[in-house]
Amino acid sequence: MISRIYIVDDQRTNREVLATFSRALGGDLDVRTFSSPIEILEQIAVDPPDLVITDFKMPEIDGAELIRRLRAAPMTADVPVIVVTTYEDRDVRHAALEAGATDFLLSPVDRWEFQARARNLLTLRAQQLAIARQSLRESEARFRLLVAGIEDYAIFMLDAAGRVTSWNAGAQKIFGYTEEESADLALDVLVPREGADGASAAELLETAARTGRARHEGWLTRKDGERLCADVLVTALVPDAQSRSRFGVVAHDLTRVRHMNDSLRAALSSSRVLLKELQHRVRNNLQVISSILQMQRTRERSRHTRSILLRNEFRIDAMALLFRNLADPTRVTDVDLVSCLRELCELLERQADRPGAIPMTAEFPHLALEIDAAAPCVLLVEEILHTLILRAEGAASAAVSLAGAEGGYDLACRIEGRRPASRDELVGRLELGEAAIEAMLARLDATLLVSADEDATMVRLHLPAGLFAGH
């Protein structure tokens, strides 16, 4: 094995003397001289040395800076460095030691001392490399044992031509080839162009060689000809002298996942159709019930009974608004409260035959409320507005607003004129009855507040944030 000795000194005579002493060490040596530290730093990126001998005082950068840069580079972090100094240069030796110098030689250099120190450091370097190689071999052996036992992932190596050089148990399980059968198996057998969604094995290897890695998800081929969907990662490797592997491949079988996803998508598509059909049928059925009540009302002679039937028609129409304002047609859990309240106000305007009498404003275009909370919320608002506007004596109008408030949202109804001045008075007037109203408020964990002055009554329903989607 060749040992490289790099000598750097800005004095030509010194370089020649040190090179002569170095070549006299015997053995398989490659001795190179450099007149500038910049030259040696450029060279180590190509061929790292086994021993560096340097002067300290040089014009471009001194020996301490050269040593620091050598120590910062992974390839030369442990390379022995001898610094040539004079006996009086104590500060120089201290600076060199702090930078990472291994040894010193006094100038003028004694040949016997130079060769003894250089020989010892070369031997030390050879031992370091031997230990590192042994550690690497042991690590690779442990890694191979680990990889060999993995069955959920195919892990194998390829040479530069794309042929298999190693094959683990996972590769055998996924692709069906035994380790013996995989010898020299070409990647394009596993990844044919027509089965890889347009990506061929050659293209994967070319991309990995150019960029360091290539990833692909597509259909591959097993030994028995069956297709499988896999996620494939091809990584370019740096081969050493003992290895002909150039690429590492990791493949994970996604066939079951792909089939499950296809089944889920099909089920989701079917469920969307079913949900839309259910929503349509619920609205139709509510309309049928409303129509039946309307027919009963037209035949009923009792004014009081007709009033009760009409009131229930209004409530059913209000409930139908929930299914017309689902936040997402694919879900039945959320209602767009803003849109639903706008339609409720329009419905009450039509019932009162006074268009524009109940304007609706909101701070935001949409607000999703869970449907099991939206139902009592809409019934409460419908009951309040209907009682205070449609059943009020004399003309009345209202304004409805929805705004954010601390801990939730405030749904406010401002009714023109002096109406119920307290919460108890309002609840007492609502036809659903106090027990039903309190039950709905408890279901919503909502607070009902009423305040009044000479001009208007303000009814505010505070809804906690936890009722709404996303909270």
What CATH number did the domain enclosing 235 receive?
3.30.450.20
Q: Determine the Cα angle at 429 with ends 428 and 433, to 5°.
A: 60
Q: How many CB atoms lie within 10 A of CB 38?
A: 15
Q: Quick one: 297 and 441 in the same domain?
A: yes
Pairing mode of beta strands 398-405, 408-416: antiparallel
Residue 417 CA, distance from chain mean position: 57
pLDDT of residue 241: 40
Report the domain count for the chain: 3
Position with higher pLDDT, 380 vs 263: 380
Instruction: Find all residues with CB under 8 Å of 358, minimum gap 6, and list them.
Output: 345, 346, 348, 349, 385, 389, 397, 398, 399, 400
Q: Quick one: 389 and 240 in the same domain?
A: no
Helices (H), 149-254: 169-175, 187-190, 201-211
pLDDT 10s digits, 255-267: 887 778 777 777 7
Residue where the block lists tokens 């044919």: 192
CATH number (domain holding residue 68): 3.40.50.2300
Residue 392 confidence class, pLDDT cut points 50, 70, 90: low
Q: Quick one: 181 and 45 in the same domain?
A: no
Q: Quick one: 303 and 442 in the same domain?
A: yes
Greatest Cα-to-Cα distance within the chain, rounded to the nearest angstrom: 132
pLDDT of residue 375: 87
Q: Quick one: 153 and 138 in the same domain?
A: no
Position with higher pLDDT, 420 vs 327: 420
Q: Quick one: 235 and 134 in the same domain?
A: no
Residue 242 confidence class, pLDDT cut points 50, 70, 90: very low
Position with higher pLDDT, 59 vs 238: 59
Q: Quick one: 239 and 352 in the same domain?
A: no
Q: Quick one: 48 and 172 in the same domain?
A: no
DSSP state, residue 386: I
Of 85, 117, 144, which residue constitutes the final position of a domain? 144
pLDDT 10s digits, 146-185: 555 577 888 888 888 888 888 888 888 899 999 889 888 8
Q: Quick one: 91 and 219 in the same domain?
A: no
pTM of the model as a whole = 0.43
Q: What one-letter code names the amino acid at 66?
A: L
- Cα–Cα dist 345/318, whole Å: 10
Residue 78 CA, distance from chain mean position: 40
pLDDT of residue 327: 62
Question: Considering the chain, what percentage of its residues have pLDDT values greater than 90?
Answer: 8
Q: Quick one: 309 and 438 in the same domain?
A: yes
Q: Which helix (H) or strand (E) holds 251?
A: strand 247-253
**Closest to 105 in 3D by CA, of 189, 14, 194:** 14
Range of 187's domain? 149-253
Candidate from 191-200, 279-288, 361-370, 436-445 with smallest mean pLDDT: 191-200
Of 221, 253, 285, which residue constitutes the final position of a domain? 253
Q: Quick one: 343 and 432 in the same domain?
A: yes
In this structure, are residues 1 and 28 in contact, taking their beta carbons and an 8 Å threshold? yes
CATH number (domain holding residue 277): 3.30.565.10
Candidate from 45-49, 59-63, 322-326 with smallest mean pLDDT: 322-326
pLDDT of residue 308: 81
**Closest to 385 in 3D by CA, of 459, 335, 309, 438:** 459
Of 253, 274, 301, which residue constitutes the final position of a domain? 253
Q: Quick one: 264 and 238 in the same domain?
A: no
pLDDT value at 250 more than 60? yes
- Cα–Cα dist 385/355, whole Å: 15
